[in-house]
């Protein structure tokens, strides 16, 4: 069996497949590529040999792309799933929101397609835990807090609802926020740059699209687990919001531009998306890691690696990478506890997220004990990134955040 990644391209038109074969011939020495005319032929290939990534057209006779990727999600959960389609009807796009990790529009520049595939290959190579990778890759959505889910449905039915009122509800739930950003940044909307601000994403999608998403089975769902896990999910969402707010304050104080500030805020909100996955899929083991962290007054990621073989940071980064989030955000999420492991030299988003994560730990203790801050910060990394903020400014940021939290 070849060690090269196996990429499967699916389309019902032979000339399209021929064009893909010609356009990607420069990758023949690096990838094993298969080409299937239609969904049935694609499934036969997947059942016979492992496929790392499947790239499928949407509109095909018999079995369309959405149906095919739903089958792939079941029979080969570890396979990354991409839709490459020239049809832009909203209904078609929303049908693939669940089974597809990413949506690309035809005509797609070969360089863009190649870049997306290469990034997915890199992600898979960095995340070796097969069992967890299967679970992460198979996910169609992230279940939401039941109360938030019901509030969202009610507000979407409200004839006087606005983008702001919808965004305020979505902002209360980490899973909903992540899914809205994923859909907004799909190629269907043709945006010139990624949208990482929730309010902007809701405006771009529009209330009509959001209502359609709520009606389609498998896009939004309410968590049906124990009350204890629901409580943990709620605390996680609240903590994520705190990290995002503090991260933006630090970025603004450091003088970063609007784009970086937006990426920093988004990375802060998404930093613990891997924790959400862990607590939903393995609640008992996750709680054990949390108890060990509390007992020993150490960050939880140390004990996650002991129990799971990986941690929430790497799981979150893999998940966000699959869903097509910007590389700067994914890397920041991956290394926010251990920034020294990141190989890229310039990492402003990671530097700010690492700093804000530690400041949030101070907030959790309801004091301004800077010894806690110093114990967790990789000061050498921050100096390398030119993120130097005075101790007085740290105190000001933490104190103002504490006052806002108690207001």
Q: Is the pLDDT of residue 367 over 80?
A: no
Range of the domain at 49: 6-126
- What pLDDT is stored for residue 380 in this prediction? 85
The percent of residues above 70 in pLDDT, for the chain, comes to 90
CATH of the domain at 310: 1.10.3210.10
Average pLDDT, the chain: 87
Query: Based on the domain organization, do 102 and 167 belong to the same domain?
Result: no
Query: Based on the domain organization, do 315 and 247 belong to the same domain?
Result: yes
Query: Based on the domain organization, do 202 and 277 belong to the same domain?
Result: no
Q: Which of 45-59, 250-264, 375-389 has the lowest mean pLDDT?
A: 375-389
Query: Based on the domain organization, do 399 and 289 belong to the same domain?
Result: yes
Task: Categorize the per-residue pLDDT at 107 as very low, low, confident or very high, splitting at 50, 70 and 90.
Answer: confident
Query: Based on the domain organization, do 332 and 360 belong to the same domain?
Result: yes
- Residue 141 belongs to a domain: no
- pLDDT, one tens digit per residue, over 319-340 is 999 999 989 999 999 999 999 9
- What pLDDT is stored for residue 374 in this prediction? 65
Task: Categorize the per-residue pLDDT at 82 as very low, low, confident or very high, splitting at 50, 70 and 90.
Answer: very high
Query: Based on the domain organization, do 198 and 240 belong to the same domain?
Result: no
- What pLDDT is stored for residue 191 in this prediction? 73
- Residue 241 belongs to a domain: yes
Output the pTM of the full model: 0.90
- What pLDDT is stored for residue 407 in this prediction? 46
Please give the average per-residue pLDDT across 72-80, as a whole number: 94
Task: Categorize the per-residue pLDDT at 403 as very low, low, confident or very high, splitting at 50, 70 and 90.
Answer: low
The percent of residues above 90 in pLDDT, for the chain, comes to 54
Q: Is the pLDDT of residue 406 over 60?
A: no
- Residue 296 belongs to a domain: yes
Query: Based on the domain organization, do 97 and 51 belong to the same domain?
Result: yes
Q: Is the pLDDT of residue 217 over 70?
A: no
Query: Based on the domain organization, do 174 and 305 belong to the same domain?
Result: no
Query: Based on the domain organization, do 162 and 103 belong to the same domain?
Result: no
Query: Based on the domain organization, do 238 and 385 belong to the same domain?
Result: yes
Beta bridge partners of residue 35, listed in sequence order: 9
Among the candidates 165, 190, 215, a domain finishes at 215
Could you give the number of structural domains in the chain?
3
Query: Based on the domain organization, do 333 and 240 belong to the same domain?
Result: yes
Highest-scoring range by mean pLDDT, 119-133, 185-199, 317-331: 317-331
Please give the average per-residue pLDDT across 103-119, as a whole number: 90
Task: Categorize the per-residue pLDDT at 372 as very low, low, confident or very high, splitting at 50, 70 and 90.
Answer: low
- What pLDDT is stored for residue 373 in this prediction? 62
Please give the average per-residue pLDDT across 275-297, as a whole number: 91
Among the candidates 189, 215, 241, a domain finishes at 215
- Residue 68 belongs to a domain: yes
- Residue 107 belongs to a domain: yes
Please give the average per-residue pLDDT across 164-169, as a whole number: 93
Query: Based on the domain organization, do 304 and 167 belong to the same domain?
Result: no
Please give the average per-residue pLDDT across 301-326, as a whole number: 94
């Amino acid at each position: 069996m070849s060690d090269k990644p196996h990429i499967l391209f699916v389309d019902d038109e032979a000339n399209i497949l021929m064009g893909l074969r010609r356009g990607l011939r420069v990758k023949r020495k690096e990838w094993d590529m298969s080409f299937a005319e239609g969904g049935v032929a694609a499934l036969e290939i997947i059942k016979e040999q492992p496929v790392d990534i499947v790239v499928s057209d949407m509109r095909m006779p018999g079995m369309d792309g959405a149906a095919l990727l739903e089958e792939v999600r079941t029979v080969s959960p570890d396979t990354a799933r991409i839709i490459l389609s020239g049809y832009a009807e909203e209904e078609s796009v929303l049908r693939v929101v669940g089974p597809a990790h990413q949506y690309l529009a035809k005509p797609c520049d070969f360089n863009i397609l190649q870049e997306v595939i290469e990034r997915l290959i890199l992600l898979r190579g960095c995340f070796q835990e097969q069992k967890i990778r299967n679970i992460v890759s198979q996910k169609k959505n992230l279940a939401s807090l039941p109360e938030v889910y019901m509030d969202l449905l009610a507000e979407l039915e409200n004839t006087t609802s606005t983008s702001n009122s919808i965004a305020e509800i979505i902002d209360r739930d980490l899973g909903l926020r992540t899914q809205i950003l994923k859909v907004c940044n799909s190629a269907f909307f043709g945006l010139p740059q990624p949208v990482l601000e929730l309010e902007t994403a809701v405006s771009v999608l529009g209330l009509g699209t959001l209502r359609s998403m709520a009606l389609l089975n498998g896009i939004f769902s309410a968590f049906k687990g124990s009350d204890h896990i629901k409580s943990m999910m709620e605390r996680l969402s609240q903590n994520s919001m705190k990290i995002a707010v503090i991260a933006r304050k630090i970025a603004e104080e450091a003088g970063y531009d609007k784009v970086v500030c937006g990426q920093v805020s988004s990375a802060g909100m998404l930093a613990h998306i891997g924790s959400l996955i862990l607590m939903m899929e393995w609640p008992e083991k996750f709680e054990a890691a949390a108890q060990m962290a509390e007992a020993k007054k150490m960050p939880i990621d140390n004990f996650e690696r002991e129990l799971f073989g990986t941690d929430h940071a790497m799981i979150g980064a893999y998940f966000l990478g699959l869903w097509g989030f910007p590389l700067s955000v994914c890397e920041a999420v991956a290394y926010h506890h251990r920034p020294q492991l990141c190989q890229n030299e310039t990492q402003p988003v990671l530097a700010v997220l690492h700093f804000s994560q530690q400041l949030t730990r101070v907030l959790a203790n309801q004091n301004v004990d800077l010894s806690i801050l110093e114990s967790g910060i990789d000061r050498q990394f921050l100096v390398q990134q030119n993120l130097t903020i005075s101790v007085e400014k740290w105190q000001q940021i933490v104190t103002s955040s504490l006052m806002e939290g108690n207001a």
